[in-house]
Amino acid sequence: MGYIEDVYTLVKKRNPGELEFHQAVSEVLESLRPVIQQHPEYQEVSLLERLVEPERVIMFRVPWMDDNGIYQVNRGFRIQFNSALGPYKGGLRFHPTVNLGILKFLAFEQIFKNSLTTLAMGGGKGGSDFDPKGKSDGEVMRFCQSFMTELCKYIGPDTDVPAGDIGVGAREIGYLYGQYKRIRNETTGVLTGKSITWGGSLIRPEATGFGSVYFAVEMLKTTGEKFEGKPCVISGSGNVAQFTVKKLIELGAKPVTVSDSNGFIHDPEGIDEAKLNFIMELKNIRRGRIKEYAEKYGVEYHDRARPWSVPCFAAFPSATQNEIDEGDAKTLVKNGCKLVSEGANMPTTPEGVDVFLDANILYGPGKAANAGGVATSGLEMSQNAMRLSWTGEEVNMRLQHIMASIHAASAKAASDYGYPNNYVMGANIAGFKKVAEAMMDFGLV
Ligand code: NDP
C-alpha cells in the first residue's frame, strides 16, 4: 500500500464510526497524491499522520435549566485541529446531530479553507448537540452561558476565535460573548459574528452567502456566461441561504427555491427583495417554518423533499452536509445545471462530486466557495485588533478580492498539477501547501 492509503487506514482505525470525518479526510488525501509524489520528505517526517490528528479535542458537560425547572445536560465540544497558520478559527454548531465525527470533519475542512483565505488562521470547530429550535430565549441564554463558562478556559483572541454556524446566529453569539466578557473581565475579539454595536464587522452576516455567489461569478467568467434571468436553486433558509438569495437578486438572477429541514418551496416567478424580507423575518425573528412562504405567496411546498429536482442554471446548496447524493447530482446535470457553488460544508457526497466532475460542470467545493464567511471573520479580527471599523464598502471590496484570489489560487493549483478546471483538486492542494510548509518549518510539533 502507498503512503496515502496507509494514512487513511490509520484514520479509520483510530476514529471508528466517524464517517463524515473519514469522508473529508479521504477527499483531501486523494487530492494530495500528486503533491506527495513531488515531496517524499513529507512522508519522512510523518506529515500526513500529524495533519489528520487534531492538536487538541475538548469535550465537556453543559448543564442548564429549562423553563420548567428541569435540569438538562448537553455535550459541548471544541476541536483545535491545526494552528500552523494562526489561532484556531471556525464556527460553533448547535444542532441535535452534532457529534465528535461531524465536528472533526468540519474542523479538518476548516484548516484548508482558512489557508485559502490568505489570512493567518488555523483550523478549529466546535458546538453542541443542543437544539435551539423550539427553545425560549431564556433557555437559549442559560444554555449559552453554561457552554461558555467551560469553553472560556480554552479560547482567546490569540488562541482560538470561534464564530457561528448552524444554530448559532446573532442571538447566540450575543449570549456567548456576554458570558465570556463577564467571566474573563476583558473586551477582546474572542468571537466573530459579533453585533456591530459591540465589535462586529459590517458585511460579516452577509459574507458566506455573498462570497459563495462571488466565487460562482469567478467560475462563470471562465465560460463568459452571466446570471441575468437564470433560475437558481438554493437549499436552506438560514444565514448562508438568505444572503446567497440576496446577492443573486442583485445580480439579476432568479432564485426559485429555499428550504428548511421540513421541506422546500418552489417559486417559479423568483424570490424578490420583498419575499426575501419575509423569509428573513420568518426565520430570524419569528423562527417559523418555510412552509409559511408557500401559504403566503401561493406557491408549491414540497414536504420532506430537497430542491434538486427543480430545473436550474445554478445550484447553491446552503443547508448541511451530504444533502446532494449521486441521484440528486445526476438529476441536476440532466436538467441542465451548469454550476454548483457550495455555501454549506461538504453538502455533496463523494459519488455526487464524481457526477459533477465527470459532467465537467463548474463545481466550487465548499472549502473554496464558502470561505468568504471565515475570511470576513478574519477581517473582523483585524478590525478588533486595530480597534477601528471599516465601512461596509471596504469590507465588501476586500471580500470580493479574497474570493477572486481563492478562485485564482485553486484554478492555478489545479492546472499546475494537471487537473485543469477541477476546483476540488485545486482547493485542496492550494490550501494544503501553505499548511505543510509551515509544519515543516516548525519541526516535530
Ligand atoms: P443556519 O442555522 O442559519 O441555517 C441552516 C439552514 O439549513 C436552515 O434552513 C436549516 O433548517 C437547514 N438545515 C440544517 N440542518 C439540516 C438538515 N439536516 N437537513 C435539512 N436542512 C437542514 O446555518 P448557516 O446558514 O450558518 O449554515 C448553513 C451551512 O453553511 C452549514 O453547512 C454551515 O456549516 C455552512 N457554513 C456557514 C458559514 C457561516 O458563516 N454561517 C460559513 C461557512 C459555511 P432548519 O431551520 O429546519 O433546521
Mean pLDDT of 43-60: 98
Domain boundary among the residues 369, 389, 424 is at 369
Pair 165, 279 in one domain: no
- Looking at residue 46, its amino acid is S
Which residue lies with its CA nearest to atom 17 of ligand 1? 261
Q: Which of 169, 180, 111, 119 is nearest to 140 (CA)?
A: 169
Together in a domain, 245 and 362: yes
The domain that contains 64 carries what CATH number?
A: 3.40.50.10860
Residues 9 and 69 in one domain: no
Is 357 found in the same domain as 270?
yes
Q: How far is CA 147 from the centre of its chain?
A: 22
List residues bridging with 58 in a β-sheet. 78
174 belongs to a structural domain: yes
Q: Buried b vs exposed e over 130-148: b needs ≥16 C-beta within 10 Å?
A: bebeebeeebbbbbbbbbb
Show the ligand 1 pocket: residues with CB < 6 angstroms: 164-167, 169, 208, 236-241, 260-262, 318-320, 343-345, 370, 373
- Percent of the chain at pLDDT > 70 equals 100
- Domain range for residue 288? 207-369
Using the 8-state DSSP alphabet, how is residue 346 labeled? S
Per-residue pLDDT at 1 exceeds 80: no
Q: How far is CA 440 from the centre of its chain?
A: 27
In this structure, the answer to whether residues 355 and 259 fall within a common structural domain is yes
Q: Which atom of ligand 1 is nearest to the CA of 374?
A: 42
CA of 3 to the centre of ligand 1 (A): 35
Cα distances from 5 to residues 52, 145, 346, 383, in angstroms, run: 13, 43, 22, 43
Tell me, yes or no, whether 39 and 62 share the same domain: no
Q: Residues 343, 366: contact at Cβ < 8 Å?
A: yes
Is 280 found in the same domain as 174? Answer: no
In the beta sheet, which residues pair with residue 62? 74
Task: Report the CATH number that the domain containing residue 333 is assigned in CATH.
Answer: 3.40.50.720
Strands 231-234 and 263-266 come out as unpaired
407 in any annotated domain: no
Q: Is the pLDDT confidence value at 383 over 80? A: yes
Give the total number of structural domains in the chain.
3
Residue 23's SS3 state is: helix
Mean pLDDT over residues 77-95, rounded? 98
Residue 363 dihedral angles phi and psi, to the nearest 5°? -125, 110
243 with 325: CB under 8 angstroms?
no
Q: Is residue 2 part of a domain?
A: yes
Interval 15-19 mean pLDDT: 98
Closest residue by Cα to atom 40, ligand 1, is 373
Average pLDDT for 405-420: 98
Q: For the whole model, what pTM was predicted?
A: 0.97
Q: How far apart are CA 206 and CA 193, in angstroms?
A: 10
Closest atom, ligand 1, to C-alpha of 163: 40
Please indicate, yes or no, whether residues 249 and 108 belong to a single structural domain of this protein.
no
Do 218 and 365 share a domain, yes or no? yes
Which residues 6+ apart lie within 8 Å of 393 measured at CB? none
Instruction: State the catalytic residues.
Output: 125
Same structural domain for residues 97 and 148? yes
Q: Annotate 401-429 with DSSP letters as a single string.
A: HHHHHHHHHHHHHHHHTT-TT-HHHHHHH
What pLDDT sits at residue 388? 95
Q: Which of 328, 348, 369 is the last residue of a domain?
A: 369
- Domain boundary pick from 369, 389, 405: 369
At residue 228, the pLDDT reads: 97
Collapsed DSSP state (helix, strand, coil) of residue 65: strand
The C-alpha atoms of residue 289 and residue 34 are separated, in whole angstroms, by 46
User: If you average pLDDT over residues 210-229, what whole number do you get?
Assistant: 97
Q: Does 388 fall in a domain?
A: no
**Domain assignment present for 410:** no
- Summarize pLDDT for 303-348 with one digit per residue, the tens: 999 999 999 999 999 999 999 999 999 999 999 999 999 999 999 9
The verdict on 165 and 219 lying in the same domain is no
Regarding whether 95 and 62 lie in a shared domain, the answer is yes
**Ligand 1, atom 13: nearest CA belongs to which residue?**
319
Which ligand 1 atom lies nearest to the CA of residue 319?
Answer: 7
Q: Report yes or no on 76 lying in a domain.
A: yes
Is residue 274 helix, strand or coil?
helix
Domain annotation covers residue 375: no
The Cα 340–Cα 77 span in angstroms is 31
Residue 28 lies in a domain: yes
